[in-house]
Each structure stands twice: as structure tokens, then as C-alpha cells.
DNA sequence: TTAATATAACTAATGTTATTAGTTTTTGTC
DNA sequence: GACAAAAACTAATAACATTAGTTATATTAA
């Protein structure tokens, strides 16, 4: 029999790698077991079936995203911080396309753990917006806008939805430029 | 035996309804056949298996989106047209969540038919931006920004990703306000 | 009107996946 | 060294997609 010596971390890491390299549809208990050198039923020792695996992957995705964004924001403020966050968000989706997609596809936002993990990302964004001195509600609106742009651009890009051969970096920068300029214009001063 | 008298249209309509009401994961050949009162293998008379069904659904999704956006744009120009498009885009995702999701999930953008269908939506947006008199490349950047915002906001909203109880209509309007104001500011004049 | 053909349904069978139940073996602990 | 817990296993079942082969119903042609 020869035990494989796996734990949740190892299983999750293998799952993330399959998702990122082969795509999220390829992440099955079969492919995962094969990668780990065990039989599919053995996975139930580490994970609550496929739903449990997906849930773990969602939590991992949010944690990693928060970590990535946090690193991007240190030592920066205002527009510079926002631009850095936007770049980091997009880069994260590039680097972890499958994991990010899993967080879109499988997140059950009625699950308190998942809510907390997702909420921590939003909390970070709130922090970064502090220096602007916005009303709380206003900050929420701005964050929703930011997330929409970053998520929307990155996912359309990931799916190959921007078909015309024109520099995507430029498009993204212009989108952000416009939004930031618009905020300046609207919130006057 | 008693023939059911189905054709591609009827099959596709039933598939769209399942996707929109039960969710895209519930759209299987089993559930579809059940809804149509036939056995799963009989579907192969109308559709090239599950991949073929999904492809049809993707084409349907783009066609319907284009139609919806076209209606929203008639008789309007510039900012008013853009706002109307944005509203229509979001409303479309609300009304056809499963069909829209299918177009995200299953679109194979190397398929020429799919490219054409998706391209027609972009062409419409290009038309609407004409009155601004932008350079062609500039128009493409703006369209990418528009799509990112509309797609991003609508899909995060659909997934329940905006958890805080704060009016989403307001957030969406403010996002658009900021973007449009930003474009005005950047493209000067 | 009838004969021939094409079409749309069917049943049966196969392979894949997820999952559960029950078993064995290893590992770690007293 | 014995025992308990954990991690692997095999076997079996159910759901789904798909293929092959069959039958009945439309449709078309003579």
C-alpha cells in the first residue's frame, strides 16, 4: 500500500496546480488522485468530496488574492496605491487563472467562512481608500467600481474576449486613468 | 412512440430556460430531455451532443445581447447612448443569468462563428461611439473599458459578490458617471 | 394511393465520474 | 510491544454523456 503521506495542504496545492495549468474543468477527483498517486476514494480522507475541495480552493483563492493585493499596496497611497492594486489584481488573474476562476464559479457567499475571506479583500480596499477621506458609503461605491473594472477586464482578457490586436496594457491603463480622473472631477476639489 | 415534433429552436429555447431558471450546471442532456419529454439520446437528432448544445447557446446569447443593446441605443447619442447601453447590458444579465453565464463559460473564441457573433456586439459599440469622433484605436480602448465595467459589475452582482447592503443602482451609476467624466477630462475639449 | 426514403424517436450498452461502505495497513502513542 | 487512529485500498452504486443499432413516423416520389 505504501502511504503517500498527504495532508490538506498538499492536496490543495495539487488541486490549484491542476486548475491553473489544465483549467478548472479538468480539476476532478480523478485527475487530482492521479496527480497525487492515490485512488479517488482516498481523497475523502483529506477533503469533503468535490464540493469540499472546491470550497477549500475558493478560500485559498481569496486568501492569496488578499495577500497579493496587500503586498502591492504597502508603502503607497492614493492614486499610486490604486494603480498598484489594479496591476496586482490583473497579474494575479494571469498567474492563477484557474484558482481565480474557481473563486468565481464555486464561491458560496452564504457560507460564513467564504464571506469572511471575501470580506477581507474588501476591507483591504477600504483601508487603501482611507487617505481620500471619502464618506463610508462613498468608499463602498468606489470599491465596487474598482472591483468591477479589475474583475471585468481581467476575466474578459483571460477568456480571450479582447480579440482585436491592440495593446491590452494600454487599454487597462487608460481605463484606470479615466476612472481616477473621473473620481477627481466628481468629488471635486 | 409518438413523435415530439421538436426542432433546434425548441431545444435551444428549453435549454435557455433551464440555464436561466435552474442555473447553468443544471443544464445537462438529462434535464433537457426530461423537460422536452424525450430520452437523452434523442437529443442527438437536434444537437451535436453537449458541446454542440453549449455552442448553440453561446451563439444565441451573443445574438440576444446584440439585439438588446441595439434596441437600447436607437435614437440616442453620446453619453445618453452609453448610459442606455450600460443599463441594458446589466438588465440583460439580470434577465438571462444562465444564458449569459453560458456565453462566458463555453464560448470558444477560436470558433469563427462565435468570433463573428461576439464581434457583432463590439461592432455595435463602435457605431455608438462614432459621434465622439475618436481615433479608431482610441475607440477600441474605450470599448474595452466599457465592457470591463459592464461585465464586471453585472457578474459580481449576479454572483452575490457585492455583499454590503447599499443600493447597487447607485453604485453602477456612479461608476459610469466617473468613467464618462474621466473620458471628458482626458480627451480634453 | 402507395412505395420508398429520411427523420426522429427508442432501447441497450459502455465509459467516466463521484460517492459510500467496508477492509487493510501503516503510523504514532501509551 | 499493543492499541488506536489515520490513510490508503477494493468493491459497488448512481448519474451522466455517448454510441450503436432498432423501430416507427413523416415526407416525398412514383
Residue A64, pLDDT > 70, answer yes
- Angstroms from A1 CA to nearest CA on chain B: 37
Structural domains present in chain A:
58-187 (1.10.357.10)
**Cα–Cα distance measured from residue A45 to residue A134, given in angstroms and rounded to the nearest whole number:** 49
**Mean pLDDT, rounded, of chain A:** 96
From chain A, the residues in CB contact with B144 under 8 A are: 153, 156, 162, 168, 171, 175
Confidence band for A1, pLDDT divided at 50, 70 and 90: low
With vertex at residue B26, the alpha carbon angle to CA B168 and CA B13, rounded to the nearest 5 degrees, is 85
Mean pLDDT for B77-104 is 98
Which B residues 111-140 touch A at CB under 8 Å?
115, 118-119, 122, 137, 140
Kindly indicate the confidence band of residue A3, based on its pLDDT and cuts at 50, 70 and 90: confident
Place of cell 447553468: B24
Nearest to B64 by CA among B41, B95, B19: B95
Checking each nucleotide's C1' against the CA of A36, the nearest proves to be: D8
Chain B residue nearest residue A164, CA to CA: B140
Q: Which nucleotides of C are covered by protein (CB under 7 A)?
A: 7-13, 16-22, 24-27
Q: Give the closest residue to B176 by CA, choosing from A167, A144, A151.
A: A144
Is residue B51's pLDDT more than 60? yes
Q: What is the pLDDT of residue A187?
A: 85
Share of chain B above pLDDT 70, in %: 97
Q: Above pLDDT 90, what percent of chain A?
A: 95
Question: Region A3-12: what's the mean pLDDT?
Answer: 87
Protein-contacted bases of chain D (C-beta within 7 A): 6-12, 15-21, 23-26
Residue B1's pLDDT is what? 60
In this structure, the number of other CB atoms found within 10 A of the CB of residue A16 comes to 20
Contact of A95 with chain B, judged by CB distance below 8 Å, is answered with no
Residues B189, B182: Cα–Cα separation, whole Å? 12
Note the helical H segments in chain A: 8-22, 29-36, 49-73, 78-95, 97-105, 112-129, 136-158, 168-186
Q: Which residue of A has its CA nearest to B136?
A: A166
Confidence of residue A8 (pLDDT cuts 50, 70, 90): very high
A175 interfaces chain B, CB cutoff of 8 Å: yes
pLDDT digits (tens, 9 = 90+) for A133-178: 999 999 999 999 999 999 999 999 999 999 999 999 999 999 999 9
Q: Which of A17, A20, A89, A105 is nearest to A55 (CA)?
A: A105
Check residue B66 and give left, alpha or beta (phi > 0: left; psi -120 to 50: alpha).
Answer: alpha
**Cα A87 from chain centroid?**
13
Between A158 and B188, name the one with better pLDDT: A158
The pLDDT tens digits for B7-35 are 899 999 999 999 999 999 999 999 999 99
**How confident is the model at residue B126, as a pLDDT?**
97
DSSP output for chain B = -------HHHHHHHHHHHHHHH-GGG--HHHHHHHHTS-GGGGGGTSSHHHHHHHHHHHHHHHHHHHHHHHHHTT--HHHHHHHHHHHHHHHHHH-HHHHHHHHHS--TTSHHHHHHHHHHHHHHHHHHGGG---HHHHHHHHHHHHHHHHHHHHHHHTT---S-S-HHHHHHHHHHHHHHHHHHHT--
Amino acid at each position: 500500500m505504501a502511504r503517500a503521506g498527504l495532508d490538506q495542504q498538499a492536496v490543495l496545492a495539487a488541486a490549484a496546480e491542476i486548475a491553473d495549468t489544465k483549467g478548472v474543468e479538468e480539476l476532478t477527483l480523478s485527475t487530482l488522485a492521479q496527480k497525487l498517486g492515490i485512488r479517488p476514494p482516498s481523497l475523502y480522507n483529506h477533503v469533503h468530496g468535490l464540493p469540499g475541495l472546491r470550497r477549500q480552493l475558493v478560500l485559498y483563492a481569496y486568501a492569496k488574492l488578499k495577500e497579493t493585493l496587500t503586498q502591492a499596496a504597502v508603502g503607497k497611497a492614493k492614486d499610486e496605491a490604486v494603480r498598484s492594486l489594479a496591476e496586482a489584481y490583473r497579474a494575479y488573474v494571469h498567474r492563477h487563472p484557474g484558482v481565480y476562476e474557481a473563486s468565481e464559479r464555486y464561491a458560496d457567499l452564504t457560507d460564513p467562512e467564504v464571506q469572511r475571506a471575501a470580506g477581507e479583500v474588501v476591507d483591504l480596499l477600504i483601508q487603501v481608500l482611507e487617505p481620500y477621506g471619502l464618506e463610508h458609503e462613498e468608499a463602498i461605491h468606489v470599491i465596487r467600481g474598482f472591483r468591477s473594472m479589475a474583475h471585468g477586464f481581467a476575466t474578459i482578457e483571460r477568456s480571450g474576449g479582447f480579440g482585436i490586436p491592440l495593446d491590452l496594457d494600454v487599454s487597462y491603463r487608460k481605463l484606470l486613468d479615466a476612472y481616477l480622473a473621473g473620481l477627481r472631477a466628481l468629488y471635486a476639489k
